[in-house]
Amino acid sequence: MAGIGTAHLRDGSLLRVEHMHVEFPVGGGRKVNAVTDVSIDVMEGETLGLVGESGCGKSTTGRAIMQLPHPTSGKVIFEGRDITSLSTEELRELRPKLQMIFQDPISSLNPRRKVKDIVSEPLSIWGKKLGSSNGPERVRQVMEDVGLDAEQVGDRRPHEFSGGQCQRISIARSLVLDPKLIICDEPVSALDVSVQAQILNLLEDMKTRYGLTLVFIAHDLAVVKNISDRVAVMYLGRVCEVAGADTLYNRPTHPYTAALLASIPEPDPSVKPNAGGLKGELPSPISPPSGCRFRTRCPNAQARCAEEIPVMREIEREHFVACHFPVDAPVAPSESQLLAAQPV
């Protein structure tokens, strides 16, 4: 069966994922097709937003890039090396350059350890090999960079902090080894709206200060627009559209992307809800639809959609879509919709 294509991938990228599949057995010879034929790339210094409904496979994609879990098939090329083929020891040697910030900041931290020990643990493992001779000073500096006073909070434990403060601790832990790429797996979805803005601003500041490249996973469309250079939209394990943030939000071309944007509520009680939003339930990843996986909910679906997997193609410069019948005249969300949806 033909794959979805790699026309949207660019040469010279820091991270390049090619035809990645992640499957989980569920018994009875069945399997969950969590990620199917995903191909994405990220240039150095770029932020790639990965967006879609809950259950679309975006978090599994992020974890599989980290080899947690190891992909069922496909390639994950980082700095020119396919890390899926590395031995356990070779992968460990690469770990300092690849870090991850998890969705739930509290459960991702060891409740029995002090904050200073949580942040310094990566240095205790890798500091000597990386030539870091002043671990305590490095930990203090990183904690101050993320807005934490090392003297005041270093001897406290995670349960003594709010969700936003715990996420700052997680960010400090990810930065202490000076990585090149960080996977941000919905890092603000568990936080209050006002705290979300603080963490997003912090990530932007850290990206500039540390020269980071980010993969930012989220289901909040406004958040993704504000922080991303490019956006990849996923549906039921597949990437269906890739474009620059402004292009994708102003001219969504895949019917799924257009429906997601139409689902953003208008902050005006006199305006009727948009009828162009998503309808129906997400199909089971155990038995996904044939052909285009969105066809069971797509208003443009035709017979060809059930028979043939759409190939990723360029419809305008740096704007790629995998759809047989893309939207001709999409309606972008209004500025008030995006402003109402974004953190304040």
Burial 130-150 (b: 16+ CB within 10 A, else e): eebeebeebbbebbebbebeb
- In this structure, is residue 71 part of a structural domain? yes
pLDDT tens across 141-189, in order? Answer: 999 999 999 999 999 999 999 999 999 999 999 999 999 999 999 999 8
- Predicted pLDDT of residue 234: 97
Q: What is the pTM of this model?
A: 0.89
* Structure tokens that stand for 137 in this block: 């000073």
The strand pair at 319-321 and 313-316 is best described as: antiparallel
Contact 306, 291 (CB under 8 A): yes
Write the DSSP assignment of 200-257 as a string of letters: HHHHHHHHHHHT-EEEEEES-HHHHHHH-SEEEEEETTEEEEEEEHHHHHHS--SHHH
- In this structure, is residue 51 part of a structural domain? yes
- In this structure, is residue 164 part of a structural domain? no
- Predicted pLDDT of residue 25: 94
Contact 217, 65 (CB under 8 A): no
Contact 319, 233 (CB under 8 A): no
The domain that contains 331 carries what CATH number?
3.40.50.300
- HSE, side-chain direction, 13 A CA sphere, residue 1: 11
Measuring CA to CA, which residue among 53, 35, 49, 13 is closest to residue 249? 49
* Structure tokens that stand for 96 in this block: 């300092």
Nearest 5°: CA angle at 188, between 182 and 189? 120
Q: Is 39 helix (H, G, I), strand (E, B) or coil?
A: strand
Considering its fold, how many domains does the chain have in total? 1
pLDDT tens across 301-341, in order? Answer: 999 999 999 999 999 999 999 999 998 744 555 555 555 45
- In this structure, is residue 113 part of a structural domain? no
Measuring CA to CA, which residue among 140, 200, 135, 206 is closest to residue 175? 206
Residue 344: pLDDT above 50? no
DSSP 78: E
Contact 294, 278 (CB under 8 A): no
- Predicted pLDDT of residue 333: 55
Query: Across the chain, what does the average pLDDT equal?
Result: 89
Contact 262, 276 (CB under 8 A): yes
Angle between helix axes 163-175 and 193-210 (nearest 10 degrees) is: 10
Write the DSSP assignment of 223-235 as a string of letters: HHHHH-SEEEEEE
pLDDT tens across 268-287, in order? Answer: 677 666 655 677 888 999 99
- Residue 326 sits in which domain range? 15-79+180-195+205-341
pLDDT tens across 34-79, in order? Answer: 999 999 999 999 999 999 998 999 999 999 999 999 999 999 999 9
Contact 74, 21 (CB under 8 A): yes
Residue that is written with structure tokens 């155990």 in the block = 286
Residue that is written with structure tokens 């193609």 in the block = 313
Strand segments, DSSP code E, in the chain are: 15-27, 30-42, 47-51, 73-78, 81-82, 98-101, 181-185, 213-218, 230-235, 238-244, 313-316, 319-321
How far apart are the C-alpha atoms of 59 and 38, rounded to whole Å? 13
How far apart are the C-alpha atoms of 1 and 4, rounded to whole Å? 10
- Which segment, 5-9, 118-122, 131-135, 239-243, is predicted with the most confidence on average? 239-243
- In this structure, is residue 153 part of a structural domain? no
- In this structure, is residue 103 part of a structural domain? no
- Predicted pLDDT of residue 215: 98
How far apart are the C-alpha atoms of 71 and 252, rounded to whole Å? 30
Report how far apart, in Å, the C-alpha atoms of 170 and of each of 110, 142, 203, 279 are. 11, 11, 12, 37
Residue 32: pLDDT above 90? yes
